[in-house]
Structure 1
Amino acid sequence: MLFAVICADKPDHLNLRMETRPPHVEWLNGLNAAGQLKIAGPFLDAAGKPCGSMLLIAADDIDAARALAAQDPYAKAGLFESVEIKPYNWVFNNPEA
């Protein structure tokens, strides 16, 4: 099952995001290698700076998706003000459909 993980950064935490980016990317590469990562990237503010994240991940259920999202180095570093996880149905342009 697919889940959208929608994260908003805490205000004025761009430095923490940039400092934590290398382990975050390493974690994403691991998810990708395991076939669990479908899409990932940052939300951008009006100045074009990252201010949040959106991931599309595969997990067995919502609890597994929450556990996976909690492993994100950004989450562990306290970057996010909020994290929302929703079941997702990838209808258009899904390469696996």
Structure 2
Amino acid sequence: MRMFAVEYTYSREDADARLAARPDHRSWLSGLVSTGVVVSAGAFADGTGALILVAADKIGDVDALRKLLADDPFATGGFIHGVQIREWSPVLGALSD
């Protein structure tokens, strides 16, 4: 399964405000999980960011993905300080074809 690996970068300085927005962020992600767009998502243990795995066949291209990510409550709240998107094709393990 071809995917996009989306890496968010957060600032520790707005951690409390981001925590307050987390329920809306998780609700947004849950909706995308239920439609199969998001395969998995989670924050890094050190609190500096998160990883979101997106099914490429459900979203299309990077431009469509960027438009989708702009609707994330963390994005609209200004809590995402960097976004890196890479196409990823797992070849072994649970996420491989």
Normalising by structure 1, we get a TM-score of 0.86
Same amino acid, percent of matched pairs: 34
Give the corresponding residue for 1:78.
Answer: 78
Q: Deviations over 1:1-43 (max 9, x none)?
A: 4111101102311112211100011001100111111110001
Tell me the C-alpha RMSD between the 2 structures. Answer: 1.5
Q: Distance in 2 between matches of 1:67 and 1:83?
A: 12
Deviation at 1:75, TM superposition (A): 1.0
Q: Which blocks of at least 5 consecutive residues in structure 1 are unaligned?
A: none
1:56 paired with 2:57, answer: no
Tell me which protein shows more strand as a share of its residues: 1
Give the conservation status (yes or no) of the 8 Å contact 1:65–1:85: no
| Higher deviation after alignment, 65-74 or 25-34 | 65-74
1:92 paired with 2:89, answer: no
Give the conservation status (yes or no) of the 8 Å contact 1:10–1:79: yes
Q: Distance in 2 between matches of 1:96 and 1:33?
A: 20
Give the conservation status (yes or no) of the 8 Å contact 1:4–1:87: yes
Report how many aligned residue pairs link the two structures.
Answer: 93
Q: Deviations over 1:48-88 (max 9, x none)?
A: xx221110012211111111111111111111111111111
Q: Distance in 2 between matches of 1:79 and 1:42?
A: 13
